[in-house]
Amino acid sequence: MYSAFTSVVSMLRAPIMSESALPPLIAVLNGPNMNMLGLRQPDVYGSATLDDVEQLCAEAAEELGLAIDFRQSNGEGELVSWVQECRGRAAGIVINPAGYTTTSIALMDALLATELPVIEVHITNIHRREAFRQHSYISKVAVGVVCGLGIRGYALALEAMAELVGASSSGAGE
């Protein structure tokens, strides 16, 4: 009886797991038409689907000691709201703003307001495409940009983000 009581007391006195023991949360956000990956212009964007991108990100995050919140929206306002939710919740943001890259000052302002590190990702090399695609409002607030490396760019962005937020690279298997 005494040993059971002692065990309970020991458990109560044990240090409580702090939030810092949880893996850093990285929001992986995707803009308009990204839900059409694999269908829309596969000669430009490849045959991988958004589900493939999410799987790649989940695997990379696990290896890097990160947690991810992977989302996609065709709506600018919804993306802005998701970015705002990251403040105080996430450690960083990886974003493929897609069509909002060249148009959304609102998204740029929301990213600035989070005061979080941001990495911009594009599947294609936007600098080798039409002139209007070569300007990015998001690049102005990003610590880095990965473009032209296909969906592998997401994994590279997560690797860079892990370094920025100081994540341990001990995955679940270690």
Q: Which active-site residues does the annotation give?
A: 45, 122
Owner of token pair 């070569």 = 134
Q: What's the CA gap between 160 and 75, in Å, rounded? A: 27
E-strand ranges in 52-124 read 67-72, 92-96, 118-122
Q: What's the CA gap between 148 and 69, in Å, rounded? A: 23
φ, ψ for residue 46, nearest 5 deg: 90, 180
Q: What's the CA gap between 76 and 82, in Å, rounded? A: 10
**DSSP per residue over 5-23, as a string?**
HHHHHHHHHSPPPPGGGSP
Residue 146: strand pairing partners: 121
C-beta atoms surrounding 75 within 10 Å: 12
The residue type found at 101 is: T
